[in-house]
Structure 1
Amino acid sequence: MLLNNKISLGFFVKNILHQALYIFLFANLIVLLKLFSAWPLVIPIAIAAILGTCIALLLAFRTNQAYDRWWEARIAWGAIVNDSRSLIRQLQMFLPDESKKELLHAFVERQCGFCFMLGDTLRGQDTAGRSKAFLSDADNVAVDKAANKPNAVLQQHSMAIRRLYDARELTDFQMVQLSINLNSLTDSMGRCERIKNTVFPRTYTFNMQVFIYLFAAILPFSLDPVHYFLDVPLVTLLASAFILIEKSAIQLQDPFENKPTDTPVTSIARTIEIDLKTMTDYPEIPDRHVSQTYYAL
């Protein structure tokens, strides 16, 4: 996720450098042809203006759709934060006996592991390190066999709660409340997986790029070639601005790709770990991650 810190200029430039260079060279070629060619290479400026207006409207729609996907992912992770805190708080209320502290800590570790492993899974990263860091040996064996490891962690939650219920440590009402919380975590996980696995229609990107490059191709024919040192930079800047906005939308539409514009799932998981361990009086609380760059993952 991009922060309010000063953003590196290279972050923007590297995304559009090649396209801007091609447009710059093309604009130079057309302007030089207009200066030294006897052919009437002129297109009315109104055509470029109409096309530019259409592109602006389409880009606004495109960016809104991409941001909606990013924001839905952030909302899902906000729900995971709330449900994680609620789960541990409920267990603290339902298991007030000090002798149950070790059992409560097992739930804390398992929930922290779920959050980190879900983020790693969404980004296509290996979860073995997280599994070893947070889960018990018995949980590790069960989770390692599963195709969907975050879901397997929730399954271990449910089995542990079932054992408490069978041992009459939980009432029927308490069992239902904990089950509702686990269902909510499952729902949030499913929303993230749906965003990850649902491809944004390729036609959106293709059509948008066709219009932008068509605009970049028409605009040099519409400007006065006499102002050579103004026309070429103007064509390059206008087309590059459209391309940059379109690239930004592409980055926002996929919030789990381990990029600066990602939903900051690792930072959120660390926040959850700090909160849960603080709630349950852990002797050592991990430090909150402070980003030294212009983004947080």
Structure 2
Amino acid sequence: MLLNHKISFAFYIRSILPQALLIFLFTNAIVLLKLFSSWVLVVPIAVAAILGTCIALLLAFHTNQAYDRWWEARIAWGALVNDSRSLIRQLQVFVANGPDRDELLHAFVERQCAFCFVLGDSLRGQDVTARLQAFLSVADSQRVAQATNIPNALLLVQGLSLRGLYDCQRITDYQLVQLNMTLNNLTDSMGRCERIKKTVFSRTYTFNMQVFIYLFATILPFCLDPVHYLLDVPLVTLLSSAFILIEKSAIQLQDPFENKPTDTPMTTIAQTIEIDLKSMTSYAPLPDKPVAQSYYSL
């Protein structure tokens, strides 16, 4: 997720530099040709104005749709935060006192932290072995790693552990239902993230949008007066680059799980969950609070 106070200007330049350079060179060639030749086609400025207006409307729609996907992902991770806290709080309230109470709670905390970190890494297509080894025992991490859906396997272990508490009469049947509802909420949030990840945004729409932008960049130099050379070239380059930048920003937002600066900050959220859960169950020492080292947070 990009941070308001540290956004690097180079981040924007790098994303559009090849296209902007291509448009700059093409515009230079057309303007110079218009200066030294009378055989260059002259296009009415109204054509470029109409096309630019259409592109602006389409970009607004594209950006809104892309932001909706990003915001839905952020809402899902906000729900993961709330449900993770609720799960541990319910266990603290429901589980009766006993010599192994703290050990039981800590086991649930470790598995829940592992679930949050592993879910984020899985959505980004990253290896989760280190995450499992950091929070689970060797035997448990090897067993969970064999599952086709590792985050779901971790929730299954949580559910089976709850059933073990019920069988030992550490929680009542009503309490088991409440805890199971919290696990269902976690499953729903996980499913929402997986749906966003696996649902491909229309590539045809993106392709058509790019065609319109480059068509605009091609037509605009033919609409301007070549006498104002120092103004025409940067003007065409800036206008076209602005459209390209907005379109690329929409493409980045529509895929919030790609390990990019515009991602949903899943790792940061998981670190926050870890700190909250461990502080609730008297861990010492607590992990350090996540601090962004750049202009974005992952």
Q: Is the Cα contact below 8 Å between 1:142 and 1:152 reproduced in 2?
A: no
Distance 1:141 1:8 in 2: 41
Report whether the alignment pairs 1:48 with 2:36. no
- 1:27 is matched with 27
Q: Quote the residue 1:254 is aligned against.
A: 255
Q: How many residues align?
A: 297
Distance 1:181 1:171, change over 3 A: same
Q: What's the CA shift for 1:292?
A: 2.0
> CA, structure 1 residues 150+177, in 2 after alignment: closer, same or farther (shift >3 Å)?
same
SS of alignment partner, residue 169 of structure 2: coil
Q: 2:282 & 2:202 partners in 1: Cα distance?
A: 48
Give the TM-score, by structure 2 length.
0.98
Q: Which moved more, 1:93-102 or 1:153-162?
A: 93-102
What's the offset of the Cα at 1:141? 3.1
Secondary structure of the residue aligned to 1:292 is coil
CA distance in 2, matches of 1:179, 1:55: 49
**Quick check: 2:69–2:254 contact (8 Å CA) kept in 1?**
yes
- Root-mean-square deviation (CA, aligned residues, Å) is 0.9
Is the contact made by 2:261 and 2:297 (CA closer than 8 Å) also made in structure 1?
Answer: yes
Alignment of 1:228-243 (within 5 A): 228-243=229-244
Shift of 1:290: 0.7
Aligned 1:122-271 pairs, distance under 5 A: 122-271=123-272
Match of 1:104 in 2: 105
- Counterpart Cα distance in 1 of 2:40 and 2:96: 87
Change (3 A) 1:252 1:138: same
Say whether the 8 Å CA contact 1:255–1:263 is kept in structure 2: yes
Preserved CA contact (<8 Å) 1:24 1:232: yes
SS at match of 2:130: helix
CA distance in 1, matches of 2:242, 2:40: 29
The CA deviation at 1:168 is 1.3
Q: Which amino acid aligns with 1:261?
A: T
Deviation of the 1:283 alpha carbon? 1.4
* 1:38 to partner: Cα distance: 1.9
Letter aligned with residue 233 of structure 1: P
1:75 counterpart residue number: 75
Tell me, yes or no, if the aligned pair for 1:5 and 1:293 is still in contact at 8 Å: no
| Greater Cα shift, 34-43 or 235-244 | 34-43
Q: 1:275 to 1:241 in 2, by over 3 A?
A: same
